[in-house]
Amino acid sequence: MTRPPLPLAQINALSPEAFAEHFAGVLEHSPHYAEWVGAQRPFASVEDLAAAFAAAASADRPEAQLALIRAHPDLAGKAALAGEVTAESASEQASAGLGRLSSEEYAEFHRINAAYHARFNFPYVVCVRENTKETIFEGARRRLTHTPDEERRAALHEIGRIARLRVLDLVQATE
């Protein structure tokens, strides 16, 4: 569900429950982070708010970080094709053209997704809104050479980038 953007002053004044509801979709299937970030208010800027989501994920226990990474869908995967991803993920994947792939491109994504799961036991996570399908493919091939620890850090970095853009969508720009 897309929510209308609110001014930062109003966000800082929301009840804890309303804040958590407004930002529940910032980190994939992980609304508890919105509760944690909401407790840190007030925020001086939207960038501070966005950074708080990235910091929450980075500061969490390794098991929770893996759960957050695993909450992300495979790019152009079966869940995306079946419409079983969050509205945020569906929109983001469509923005990079992942909903309009050729059969060869779908097959390549399935090979990449399978290789990722086999090597890291989690999906390839990338901020698709900041990429094209070509750079997504190139990045996946390059990141398959990472160690598991390097790739966990890379995935968390990308999750922070995704969170930033999702927060920007939920906060009204100042004039």
Catalytic residue list? 72
The amino acid at residue 170 is: L
Count CB-CB contacts under 10 A for residue 88: 18
- Separation CA 42–CA 48 (nearest Å): 10
- Separation CA 20–CA 4 (nearest Å): 14
Q: Is 36 left (phi over 0), alpha (psi -120 to 50) or beta?
A: alpha
